[in-house]
Amino acid sequence: MMKLLTLSLLLTMFVSCETAEEDVQVGNKTTMKIDRLYDAGEVMKGEVVTAKFKVTNTGKYPLILASVEPSCSCTVSSYPEKIAPGESNIITATVKTDRLGSGILSKHVNVTANTSPSVTQLKIKALIMNK
């Protein structure tokens, strides 16, 4: 009786965890086109730099963004987790310049996805001017 109960529980868990989207499978790599550099130009110290990176899935499988990790003093405010083939979306990252020194700003955002290579580095740059 215990074996039957365990088997039925495992079967229920397996069926309930199936994905409705059969096109997303482990190992399906795709390609993407992404603007890797956002140049904010000259900004005044204290301004918030908002960088928007356009991402287009140029492959035949869904593009899965597993993680989008910013460097210090940078925050990723939004990114899509999945982009269908042929579709585009935006990754938005912000940098608060109030605690940074004047001069050249160079921050990075690492995007991990089902592409080859799996990590793509994006760059935010600006020239911070004193008030």
Three-state SS at 9: helix
Query: In this structure, are residues 93 and 77 in contact, taking their beta carbons and an 8 Å threshold?
Result: yes
Q: What is the pLDDT of residue 25?
A: 63
Would you list the domain boundaries of the chain?
36-129
Q: Which of 14-18, 46-50, 117-121, 122-126 has the lowest mean pLDDT?
A: 14-18
Structure tokens at 72: 């210090």
CATH fold for domain 36-129: Immunoglobulin-like (2.60.40)
Q: Supply the pTM of this predicted model.
A: 0.77
Q: How far is CA 117 from CA 10, 12, 31, 94, 111, in A?
A: 36, 37, 10, 25, 10
Q: Is the peptide bond before 80 cis (omega within 30 degrees of 0)?
A: no
* pLDDT per residue as tens digits for the range 44-97: 999 999 999 999 999 999 999 999 999 877 888 899 999 999 999 999 999 999
